[in-house]
Structure 1
C-alpha cells in the first residue's frame, strides 16, 4: 500500500521541495478532486483516469440475517475509470 505521506515524499524529492511542501501539494490535489466531486463535476487526469459522481437510485435489498426486505436510500458515489495508459501499464 502507498500512503499520502509516501506520495508526498516522492513529490518533494523529485521537485526539490521540503516534505511539508510536498504534502501540501498532494493534499491540494486531493482537495481539488473532492471539491469537484462535491460540485458534481468530473475530474479527468490524462494518462491516469477519470473520477465521476454517479447517482444510485433507491432500491430494495434483503437482510441476510432475517430475510426481511429493506429499502436502501438513494445515494451518490464516486467512480474511477482508469485511462488506457494506466490499463496498458498494468497489463505489460
Structure 2
C-alpha cells in the first residue's frame, strides 16, 4: 500500500472528512514520526510497533568492484520493531 492508497482508504471510511483533510492528517502523522526520530526519540504505536533510530559506527569497508578498502562514516538508520498484535495477526493467531 502506498501513501495515496492509505489516504483514499481513510477517506472512504470517514465520509464526513474531505480528501484534503484526510491527506493533511496522514501527512501530519508521518511528519511527527519523522521529526521525533530526527530528535533521537522512539515512536511507539501500541499493537502496531515501534520506530527508533539505531547508530551504526564508522567502519572499514570494501569497494565490491575494486576490492579497495574504503572508510564508511558513522550513520543513523531507522529501525522498526513490529508489535505483538501485528506479529500475531501476520501469523494467523
Structure-to-structure mapping, 1:76-91, within 5 angstroms: 76-91=76-91
Separation in structure 2 between the aligned mates of residue 66 and residue 78 of structure 1, nearest angstrom? 29
Unaligned runs of 5+ in 2: none
SS at match of 2:5: helix
Q: 1:48-76: CA deviations, max 9, x gaps?
A: 10000111100111111111111100001
SS at match of 2:64: coil
Structure-to-structure mapping, 1:7-86, within 5 angstroms: 7-16=6-15, 17-86=17-86
- How many residues align structurally? 91
Q: TM-score, normalised by structure 1?
A: 0.94
Separation in structure 2 between the aligned mates of residue 90 and residue 27 of structure 1, nearest angstrom? 26
For the aligned residue pairs, the C-alpha RMSD in angstroms reads: 0.9
